Amino acid sequence: MALGFFDFLGFGSKRRSALQLLDRTLTDLEVNPAYIDDGMRFAIYKWALVMEASDGRSSIVDQAMREAGALISFCVLGPAETEALWGASVRAEREARFDAVIAQGQEESFDAMLIKLVLAKGIAAPDIRSKVNLETDAV
């Protein structure tokens, strides 16, 4: 209770808040946060901080954590399960984001690093794994 009070007053940990946001986002998107280990969480947070530093906006970390949760959810659940849970429009939006990363081949973008992380940890859906091959650096 006291830690929540300090967070409310602005004395809490920005990192802790961001990591909790990622976990809540994953839960809301039907992915058990246990799939994402602490190393993955901290890497995602670090990448979000890099984005914030290059962008200059202070709110970018929260947005990046939500976006990371959405892309991770798509990669873990796959297109069919995503469509079954949220409909064709959500599936199309997330699949377009995923396909854009694959087509662009920007290996250092936030989305590409997320996809590589999910694939490397072995938690991607089979139909996602079939689209990307880590050994050939397709992402």
Write the pLDDT tens digit of every residue in 55-98. 777 678 999 999 999 999 999 999 999 999 999 999 999 999 99
Give the structural domain span for 60. Answer: 13-136
Domain assignment of residue 25, yes or no? yes
Domain assignment of residue 6, yes or no? no
Q: What is the pTM of this model?
A: 0.84
The total of structural domains in the chain comes to 1
Domain assignment of residue 41, yes or no? yes
Cα atoms in the Cβ-side hemisphere of radius 13 Å centred on 139:
25
Distance CA 7, CA 12 (A): 4
pLDDT at 133: 61
